[in-house]
Amino acid sequence: MTTSDHIADVSTGTDTTPAGADSAPYAEPRETTEGPVYTVSGGDWDDVLSDVSHDERMIINMGPQHPSTHGVLRLVLEMEGETVTQLRSVIGYLHTGIEKNCEYRTWTQGVTFVTRMDYLSPLFNEMGYCLAVEKLLELEVPRRAQLLRVLLMEINRIGSHFVYIATGGMELGSTTAMTLGFREREEVLHLLEHLTGLRMNHAFIRPGGLAQDMPDDFVEKVTEFCKTIDERLPSYDKLFTGQPIWRNRLKGVGYLPVDACLALGVTGPVLRSAGLAWDLRKTDPYSCYDEFDFEVPTSTDADCWARYLLRVEEMRQSLRIIRQVLEKLEPGPVMVEDRKIAWPAQLSISSDGMGNSLDHVRKIMGQSMESLIHHFKLVTEGFRVPPGQVYSTVESPRGELGFHLVSDGGTRPMRVHVREPSFVNLQSMPAMSEGGLVADVIAAVASIDPVMGGVDR
């Protein structure tokens, strides 16, 4: 029985399964403090696979636990010899319910959830979410905060692209790529930890600005980081770009022309590898990106090789942007002045990397009871956002990351929905892989660079 044979009335919990159909794979609803919760279990994949099986062909499951599936992704391959005749992707094994969880937290607390979606680019998740909240609030973020957001995102982009090289190389048999890629990514994580207090899932970009300003020596640390990456990037050209085995393994594999990209909604490096220079930092600038001088690399080869070259060049362009941010930075606030929105108050990072707000607590407790009550209500209840809905986008390392937020005027979102590029880009896998060899499926998946935390949010 397929899912379409069964209809459940979610408002009442009643079952309207057609007469004669099998019993539904739905558990009884259970009541919680937030209302009824329904548990749904899928069960129609066996039926789907039985329809496509042939005597001359075999069905192979790659994943969901497999070293070549970029996480918990399941690929159902119909094979004729070593040729893939049909590919189906099965997702949902990493489901976290982040979008739904955001509806039960304040607007600021939502940042802590969304940062965990695409865990290789957490700062982009925070940025897209906060831009949407700020549009609803009609907030103008201080210039220093906008520039520092760009700085953090471009550092994050470099780290994400290094993981693409590391994991993609490992899946294709190059342990050298894995070792070098993760070595460079460690430089990124060390720097982000120094700047924000955490290596990943920072929750550092907040509605209205940033959680706090940068440490005193951040210019020196960022400059040193740029110099290190500049020195190491040429080794990737020597070891990979100019290496015939690497080039032959990727060239002509995973072909996806620009018309197919547009039909499937594909964005990011995959779209730019097909010749369309679509980068939201240029086409729809946000957070001062229109002030920076950088290029959007493109290619017309539309294969895995072009996607590799593009990401390496994008790292160089990110270094250009980072250096320009350091030149443009001026002293100023990193959070809006409106104390009904701006929280937490200015914190400092202690030696253990955790936030330490003892000075602020002493200050508000010594000022007045009203200040303490306001701080308590702001943290526990949150601020109100005017009713309305908005869609806001940023250019993440994987493509267009969009947030659709709906507010009913309360202190928490009514609806949060994310246009996640990994989720959309996975649609291109059959077009890239069918008709090719099973070994080329690995290269095609790696070139998309999906992160299942974003797909299964």
Pair (365, 391) in one structural domain:
no
Pair (366, 398) in one structural domain:
no
Residues paired with residue 86 on neighbouring β-strands, in sequence order: 78
Predicted local distance difference test score (pLDDT) of residue 243? 86
146-197, pLDDT tens digit by residue?
999 999 999 999 999 999 999 988 888 888 889 999 999 999 999 999 999 8
Pair (203, 301) in one structural domain:
yes
CATH number for the domain including 186? 1.10.645.10
Q: Do residues 457 and 418 lie in contact, with contact meaning Cβ atoms separated by under 8 Å?
A: yes
Q: Is residue 72 part of a domain?
A: no
Distance CA 280, CA 293 (A): 14
Pair (24, 128) in one structural domain:
no
Q: Is residue 306 part of a domain?
A: yes
**Average pLDDT of span 432-443:** 88
373-390, pLDDT tens digit by residue?
777 777 888 889 999 999
Pair (151, 212) in one structural domain:
yes
Distance CA 121, CA 323 (A): 20
CA 199 and chain centroid, separation? 15
Residue 83 neighbours by CB distance under 10 Å: 14
Domain of 374 in residue numbering reads as 344-379
CA 79 and chain centroid, separation? 32
Pair (257, 222) in one structural domain:
yes
Predicted local distance difference test score (pLDDT) of residue 162? 94
Pair (362, 243) in one structural domain:
no
Predicted local distance difference test score (pLDDT) of residue 357? 56
Q: Is residue 1 part of a domain?
A: yes
Predicted local distance difference test score (pLDDT) of residue 61? 85
Q: Is residue 57 part of a domain?
A: no
Q: Is residue 324 part of a domain?
A: yes
Predicted local distance difference test score (pLDDT) of residue 274? 93
Pair (306, 319) in one structural domain:
yes
Conformation bin of residue 35: beta by default, left when phi > 0, alpha when psi is -120 to 50: left
Q: Do residues 312 and 297 lie in contact, with contact meaning Cβ atoms separated by under 8 Å?
A: no
Pair (22, 164) in one structural domain:
no
Pair (109, 254) in one structural domain:
yes
Q: How far is CA 381 from CA 14, 113, 279, in A?
A: 35, 17, 37
Least confident of 125-134, 234-243, 344-353: 344-353
Q: Is residue 62 part of a domain?
A: no
Q: Is residue 401 part of a domain?
A: yes
Q: How many domains does the chain have?
A: 3
Pair (135, 20) in one structural domain:
no
**Average pLDDT of span 84-92:** 88
Pair (358, 270) in one structural domain:
no
Residue type, 211: A
Q: Is residue 85 part of a domain?
A: no
Distance CA 74, CA 81 (A): 20
